[in-house]
Amino acid sequence: MFMRKVALLVFITAFGATWACKSAPPAAPAASGIDLAGMDKSVAPGDDFNAYANGGWLKTTPIPADKASYGIFAILADETRKRTVSLIQDAANRGGNASEEARKTGDFYASFMDEAAIESKGITPLNPQLEKVAAIKDRRDLARAIGESLRADVDPLNATNFETENLFGVWLTQGLMDPNHSFPYLLQGGLGMPDRDYYLSKTPHMAELRTKYQEHILAMLKLAGFPDPAVSASRIFALETKIAGMHATRVESEDVHSATLWKQEELSTKAPGLDWIVLLDAAGLKDAPEFIIWHPKAVTGLSALAAKESLDAWKDWLTFHKIEQAASFLPKAFVDERFTFYGKTLSGTPELRPRWQRGVDYTSAALGEVVGKLYVERYFPPETKAKVQAMVNDIVKAFGGRIDALTWMSPDTKAKAKEKVSTIKVGVGYPDRWQDYSSLEIIKGDALGNAQRAELFEYRRQLAKLHQPIDRGEWWMTPQTVNAVNLPLQNALNFPAAILQPPYFDPAADAAHNYGSMGAIIGHEISHSFDDQGSQFDAQGRLADWWTKADLEHFKAAAEALAAQFDKYRPFPDLAVNGHQTLSENIADVAGLLSAHDAYRLSLQGKPDRVMDGFTGDQRFFISYAQSWRSKTREAELRRRIATDGHAPDEYRADTVRNLDGWYDAFSVMPGQKLYLAPSDRVRVW
């Protein structure tokens, strides 16, 4: 997924992530929608519900060699890639009979897949950019180079979940306090490793990774033919370590109130050291009168470094990251070296994914809605969209019912909450309007150039928002993305077509299964509008205090209890889950599951559900939920996620059921069992 910056969690709070894929389809479920063979009924549900629901699968399923993790998301992502590559290849094979947009997808993909042509060109396609960096002679030139490198978050050159390698991240969307106009947001960047702690933590694990990263920098510089790579590599790492020292932590980055509004002329006084006039002109932002600075201390600190650190160090750093960003479109030696560090070392993945899968992902990033339109036409019929929309309506209604039933919330706060839930704009399958890619030039045979032009095209599309009305129906995920997203500033949700397929959603399946699986995802995204971050925005997406003091204190107390619950989860003896870092997702899991369960019960219209495959309706609901979190993750990747990700490990998300009274009743969970919580300790929040 390309929306990867933790600082943007306030804007984009995704259900999960698609870090892995699979080469074989999932086993056919039973009539109930449950994978019976994947269960382990020898485990008591009250002791380890994830193992009960998924233990058979966990015992018998290895993680494929080219994967860092493996599970339901991964399976669907790979099945979707297989569908997508067929659509792209069909477009290429139609030649002159294809539409201009479809032809571009075929040419982009074919150019990436032509390894012989890429090998023959070597690093030559990148030389113009490297020569521009080499020509930097003063701080004014440095500011221009930094400005020219700024891009929007969608980045086809860098399909990873790591920090932006540009010095600043840029995001364009409506203002925190002004929902009627778009603003540029500036965020901290500049790191090649996932987070500041990778540079600053004193743990042996992080120290080892720092050594490996320095080896990687040196190896990339040698491949590029640097005259004195050891000296340059040392300067680059030293500079990045200083950059990391300026960064906010992950938890600090999630605090929306740390953001501040600066007028353009204030940049030079509040963040001296950079020639902001030159930088903004080069970045296409000179006509933006105001900026929302998400990390004010970091922006000030990074600007000071731009003036303080040697020009040679900055030129080395810029050159290295130009190479890093382009590596996937350069000869095999560059691809392999980048994978050695980011794949093997950081994520523990033994093998690089097949090239065709990477090609599909890059093509989808560059021409996302062209590919999406093709995908929807073939794989997402109107009747599926209608059934999902009906489920969405049911769960929105159920969430509203939960608000009505809250005994601790005052009438004034309830009214504001009900207004917000009633005005959520839900996108199902695909956007109402498709993007126009007619101005994007794709040249067959120019793999790197195509990716760079696609990146620049997307950046310019984002910049154009500064002069356009706010589009509250804007999508931030493509239809072929296996994920879902909440957009608090738009008060909107996106459910892409690719996640609306079995095992998450089956139009012909049992209601208990669909509500427990896809219904919980829908409830999760609705609930993000009311988590610790989303609850700070009103019905118009404005950052606003719409709570009474007493109601807010009650909400915060419940949230703290949930954070404490997750703090106790310890995947490794030396590493625990950060309950505050994952709090937004954990609140959404609990509230979403509660709402989905309410909606499932409402769908029965007061009648008991039938028993299927030996399970009652409530049992099937909860098992389907747990099986939707089925996954395995390599140790290195799990450690990386715990350090950087806003989502808790999947096994603990499956155990969210321990906060629902209905789960205790369904499985007769009793005191003394490991997951048992006394009724007063069950966190409900909503």
User: Three-state secondary structure along 371-439?
Assistant: HHHHHHHHHCCHHHHHHHHHHHHHHHHHHHHHHHHCCCCCHHHHHHHHHHHHCCEEEEECCCCCCCCCC
**Is pLDDT at 156 greater than 80 in this prediction?**
no
Q: Amino acid letter at 649?
A: P
Average of pLDDT values for 443-460? 97
**Which pLDDT score is estimated for 153?**
60
**Which pLDDT score is estimated for 300?**
98
Residue-wise pLDDT for 534-582, tens only, equals 889 998 999 988 889 999 999 999 999 999 999 999 999 999 999 999 9
Q: Residue 152, exposed/middle/buried by CB under 10 A (0-12, 13-18, 19+)?
A: buried
The fraction of the chain above a pLDDT of 70, given in percent, is 93
From CA 51, how far away is CA 455, in angstroms rounded?
43
**Is pLDDT at 12 greater than 60 in this prediction?**
no
From CA 626, how far away is CA 656, in angstroms rounded?
9
**Which pLDDT score is estimated for 29?**
56
From CA 199, how far away is CA 210, in angstroms rounded?
7
CB 13 within 8 A of CB 490: no
> At 150, is the pLDDT very low, low, confident or very high (cuts 50, 70, 90)?
very high
Residue-wise pLDDT for 642-672, tens only, equals 998 999 999 999 999 999 999 999 999 999 9
Helix (H) or strand (E) holding 117: helix 115-121
**Is pLDDT at 436 greater than 50 in this prediction?**
yes
Residue-wise pLDDT for 230-280, tens only, equals 999 999 999 999 999 999 998 899 889 999 999 999 999 999 999 999 999
Phi-psi label, residue 663: left if phi above 0, alpha if psi -120 to 50, beta otherwise: alpha
Q: Amino acid letter at 88?
A: I
Average of pLDDT values for 79-87? 95
Average of pLDDT values for 215-235? 97
Tokens of 533: 């971050």
**Which pLDDT score is estimated for 498?**
96
CB 51 within 8 A of CB 102: no
From CA 621, how far away is CA 599, in angstroms rounded?
11
Residue-wise pLDDT for 93-149, tens only, equals 776 667 888 899 999 999 999 999 999 999 999 999 999 999 999 999 999 999 999
CB 233 within 8 A of CB 217: yes
Q: Residue 45, exposed/middle/buried by CB under 10 A (0-12, 13-18, 19+)?
A: buried
Tokens of 536: 């700070």
**Which pLDDT score is estimated for 95?**
62
Cis peptide before 503 (omega within 30 of 0): yes
Which parts of 135-245 are beta strand (E)? 168-174, 182-188
Average of pLDDT values for 15-19? 41
**Is pLDDT at 5 greater than 70 in this prediction?**
no
Q: Give first-to-last CA distance, the chain, whole Å.
A: 29
**Which pLDDT score is estimated for 19?**
30
Contacts of 394 (CB under 8 A, 6+ apart): 519, 599, 602, 603
From CA 105, how far away is CA 109, in angstroms rounded?
6
**Which pLDDT score is estimated for 4?**
28
Tokens of 141: 């030139």
From CA 420, how far away is CA 78, in angstroms rounded?
36
Provide the CB-side half-sphere exposure for 661 (13 A, CA).
Answer: 4
From CA 433, how far away is CA 473, in angstroms rounded?
9
Answer whether CATH 1.10.1380.10 is correct for domain 125-331+341-347.
Answer: yes
**Which pLDDT score is estimated for 17?**
40
CB 322 within 8 A of CB 291: no
Q: What ranges do the domains of the chain cover?
A: 24-63+386-432+473-681, 125-331+341-347
**Which pLDDT score is estimated for 508?**
83
From CA 662, how far away is CA 301, in angstroms rounded?
51
For the chain, the helix, strand and coil percentages under 3-state DSSP, each to the nearest 5: 55, 5, 35
Q: By C-alpha distance, which of 404, 347, 393, 321 is closest to 145?
A: 321
Considering only 56-65, 87-96, 583-592, 629-638, which range has the smallest mean pLDDT? 87-96
**Which pLDDT score is estimated for 418?**
93
**Mean pLDDT score of the chain:** 91
The fraction of the chain above a pLDDT of 90, given in percent, is 84
- pTM for the whole structure: 0.89
CB 68 within 8 A of CB 20: yes
**Is pLDDT at 155 greater than 90 in this prediction?**
no
Superfamily of chain region 24-63+386-432+473-681: Collagenase (Catalytic Domain) (3.40.390.10)
